[in-house]
Amino acid sequence: MRRVVTGQTDTGNSVFVSDKQIEPIRLSLMPGLEFARVWGGDETTALPADGTPPAAHTFFPPERGYRFVFVTIPPEGSDDLPEDLDLEGALTEVNEKLPGMLEHNELENPGMHTTDTVDLDLVLSGEMDLELDDGAEVHLRPGDCVVQNGTRHAWRNRSSAPCTMLSILVGARRS
Alpha carbons within 13 angstroms on the beta-carbon side of residue 145 total 6
CA distance 137 to 145: 14
Domain spans in the chain, listed from the N-terminal domain onward? 24-171
Q: What is the DSSP string of 124-150?
A: EES-EEEEETTS-EEEE-TT-EEEEES
**What does the pLDDT average to over 21-41?**
94
Name the band, by pLDDT with cuts 50, 70 and 90, for residue 5. very high
Could you read off the pLDDT of 53-103 as tens digits, one per residue?
999 999 999 999 999 999 999 999 766 777 888 888 989 999 999 999 999
CA distance 162 to 54: 30
Amino acid identity for residue 83 in this structure: E
How many helices (H) and strands (E) in the chain?
2, 11
Tell me what pLDDT residue 79 has. 62
**What does the pLDDT average to over 6-16?**
94
Looking at 3.20.20.100, 3.20.20.70, 2.60.120.10, 1.10.1040.10, the CATH number of the domain 24-171 comes to 2.60.120.10
Closest among 171, 173, 174, 137 to 157, alpha carbons compared? 137
| End-to-end C-alpha distance for the chain, whole angstroms | 37
Tell me what pLDDT residue 83 has. 80
pLDDT higher for 110 or 15? Answer: 15
Q: What is the largest CA-CA distance in the chain?
A: 58
pTM of model > 0.85? yes
Would the pLDDT of 171 be above 90?
A: yes
Tell me what pLDDT residue 84 has. 82
Could you read off the pLDDT of 126-163 as tens digits, one per residue?
999 999 999 999 999 999 999 999 999 999 999 999 99
